[in-house]
């Protein structure tokens, strides 16, 4: 099957384009009428670097490629709009494999209101997906960048952390699954293989007045450092307040790891960390409740200074470890 036949087959599966898309996939470029302001982010995942093809399955790889790209839009408080996908295909990816990847992406696109508006397919030595996503807001000022946190702000975190890193441990050593019930182990593995972009939560936090926001792709410790640096402030995080995913403590213990350290060092939870004026915390909690996507937990505060420190209840700092996608720590 040639490239053109394949592209025609892929395009035939695309649902109707979203309201901003005037001309979708199949021409030299897609044409959109954005309205206000746009947020654009690119993200790539490569077999052997970010995932293992035989471990994930092609549908989950397609979902993760789009979900992790959309997570950056969630961190801006953007409404998801369009996605453009480059697929680097190794010689052994057949038509069925292409369609499984596409169906994975289409499932996330449907769940998030994203239009797959264009793409390119090329040969490549390893399966590679590079995804560009475009999100929308009424104006540039409605987006929430990493800069803008101010001393006195409260730090909030959506959902729970440590799940993706624990899932990585379970995938690398299946015997660890004996430490938790089967459904808990399955949920932790899914946090690693099939993350959810917190788009509704991101918009709710933006509307509630978040002054700075970032998504957790590199781990709370590292990403808090990025937000602190961009905002020119210090972040003080209470380790005792951190919401760990169910089963993280047991899996970490079975692996001989400290659960808190695993949770703050482990990347790919794709939760959102935001700085809010303290008097907006109640509004933000209400908005997150109405978004009905996940929970919101206050985990610390913004102060004058620099850097991000995570402190144990006794006051001593919790040192993070490095994180490498397929190494689990």
Kindly list the residues in this chain that would bind its own copies in the complex (CB under 8 A). Answer: 22-23, 26-34, 36-46, 48-50, 72-73, 75-76, 78, 82, 84-86, 88, 117-120, 122-126, 128, 130, 132-135, 139-140, 143, 145-147, 213-215, 230
CB of 131 to its own copies, least distance (A): 9
Q: What distance in Å separates the CA atoms of residue 60 and residue 141, rounded to the nearest whole number?
A: 34
Least distance (Å) between residue 205 CB and its own copies: 13
Q: Please, which residue, 76 or 239, has the CB nearer to its own copies? A: 76
Which residues, in sequence order, are bridge partners of residue 25? 27
User: Residue 313: is it exposed, middle or buried by C-beta count within 10 angstroms (0-12/13-18/19+)?
Assistant: exposed
**Minimal distance, residue 45 CB to its own copies, in Å:** 8
Q: Find the shortest distance in angstroms from Cβ 140 to its own copies.
A: 4
Q: Which 8-state DSSP code applies to residue 167?
A: H
Return the DSSP state at 306: S
Give the nearer residue to its own copies in terms of CB position, either 94 or 120: 120
Smallest separation (angstroms) from its own copies to the CB of 24 = 11
Residue appearing with tokens 């892929």? 10
Q: Which is nearer to its own copies, 41 or 166 (CB)?
A: 41
Give the residue with the Cβ less far from its own copies, 140 or 253: 140
What residue has token string 């209470």?
A: 238
* Burial category of 167 from C-beta neighbours within 10 Å (exposed 0-12, middle 13-18, buried 19 and up): buried
Question: Which of these, 198, 174, 200, lies nearest to 188 by C-alpha position?
Answer: 174
- Please say which residue, 73 or 155, places its beta carbon nearer to its own copies: 73
- Minimal distance, residue 194 CB to its own copies, in Å: 20
Nearest to 169 by CA among 152, 150, 183, 188: 188
Alpha-carbon torsion 2, 31, 146, 260, what sign?
A: negative
Distances 11 to 3, 8, 31, 60, 185 between C-alpha atoms, Å: 12, 5, 16, 20, 37
- Residue 310: CB minimum distance to its own copies, A: 19
Give whichever of 6 and 190 is closer to its own copies, judged by the CB atom. Answer: 6
Closer Cβ to its own copies, 37 or 190, answer by number? 37
**How does 72-96 read in b/e, with b if 16+ C-beta sit within 10 Å?**
bbbbbbbbbbbbbbbbbbeeebeee
Rank residues 213 and 245 by Cβ distance to its own copies and give the closer one.
213
In the bound complex, what is the minimum distance in angstroms from residue 87's beta carbon to its own copies?
9
Tokens of 36: 């206000």
């Amino acid at each position: 099957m040639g490239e053109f036949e394949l592209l025609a087959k892929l395009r035939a599966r695309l649902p109707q384009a979203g309201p901003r898309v005037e001309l979708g996939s199949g021409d030299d470029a897609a044409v959109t009428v954005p309205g206000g302001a746009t947020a654009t982010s690119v993200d790539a995942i490569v077999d052997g670097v970010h995932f293992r093809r035989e471990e994930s399955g092609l549908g989950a790889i397609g979902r993760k490629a789009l979900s992790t790209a959309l997570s950056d839009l969630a961190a801006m408080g953007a409404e998801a709009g369009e996605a453009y996908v480059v697929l680097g295909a190794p010689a052994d990816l057949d038509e069925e494999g292409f369609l499984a990847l596409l169906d994975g992406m289409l499932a996330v696109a449907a769940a998030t209101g994203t239009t797959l508006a264009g793409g390119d397919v090329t040969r490549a030595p390893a399966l590679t997906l590079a995804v560009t996503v475009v999100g929308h807001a009424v104006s540039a000022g409605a987006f929430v960048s990493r800069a803008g946190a101010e001393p006195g702000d409260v730090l909030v975190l959506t959902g729970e952390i440590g799940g993706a890193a624990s899932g990585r441990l379970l995938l690398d050593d299946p015997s660890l699954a004996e430490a938790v019930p089967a459904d808990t182990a399955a949920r932790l593995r899914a946090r690693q293989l099939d993350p959810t972009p917190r788009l509704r939560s991101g918009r709710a936090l933006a509307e509630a007045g978040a002054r700075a926001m970032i998504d957790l792709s590199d781990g709370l410790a590292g990403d808090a450092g990025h937000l602190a640096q961009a905002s020119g402030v210090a972040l003080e995080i209470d380790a005792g307040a951190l919401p760990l995913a169910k089963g993280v403590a047991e899996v970490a213990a079975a692996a001989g790891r400290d659960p808190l350290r695993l949770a703050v060092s482990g990347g790919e939870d794709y939760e959102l960390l935001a700085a809010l004026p303290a008097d907006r915390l109640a509004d933000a909690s209400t908005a997150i409740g109405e978004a009905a996507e996940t929970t919101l937990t206050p985990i610390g505060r913004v102060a004058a200074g620099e850097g991000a420190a995570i402190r144990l209840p006794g006051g001593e700092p919790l040192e993070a470890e490095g994180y490498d996608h397929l190494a689990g720590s």
